[in-house]
Amino acid sequence: MGGSKSSSSKVDVYVGSGSLQLIISGGYLPRSVRQGRSLVIDASRSYDENLPRTLSGVAAGLSYAWSCVQTEPVLRLNCEEVMTMNTINISSIPSITWIVNSDSSVVGSKVVITVTITDIDRSRS
């Protein structure tokens, strides 16, 4: 009477996609800068969870879209009255230096800078 015995079980496995992780060096806290000075916003440590963690920024195939909106004392669709970027082609640049105008009229202004990272089929801002 030595018949064989067996037992089995099953596990359902769902495969998901990792996220794009947008990392701003120095954190997301509000920043203050004086007129005539520069401000660097650096997103080069951003990465794609689907790729090895040793790859980040442009090396991970990420592209960057930068925008700036003035919100105070008046709403403007750009920041040209307050600050300018130090570059023209910004689609693949993970770090941008913003130069605040030296005119005293910019004191008290508030701007919102947005960076969106994108890979082939996903984006995160």
Mean pLDDT, residues 13-22: 85
Question: In this prediction, what percent of the chain has a pLDDT beyond 70?
Answer: 89
In the numeric block, which tokens belong to residue 106? 């910019």
Q: Please give the model's pTM, rounded to 2 decimal places.
A: 0.76
Could you tell me which residues come within 8 angstroms of residue 63 by beta carbon, excluding any fewer than 6 positions away?
A: 91, 92, 117, 118, 119
pLDDT digits (tens, 9 = 90+) for 46-83: 999 988 888 888 888 888 888 899 999 999 999 999 99
**Separation between Cα atoms, residue 51 and residue 49, nearest integer Å:** 5
Which CATH number is correct for 20-124, 3.30.1740, 2.60.40, 2.60.120, 2.40.160? Answer: 2.60.40
125 pLDDT higher than 60: no
Q: Which of 53, 39, 29, 46 is nearest to 93 (CA)?
A: 46
Of 4-8, 66-70, 94-98, 119-123, the range with the lowest mean pLDDT is 119-123
pLDDT recorded at residue 70:
93
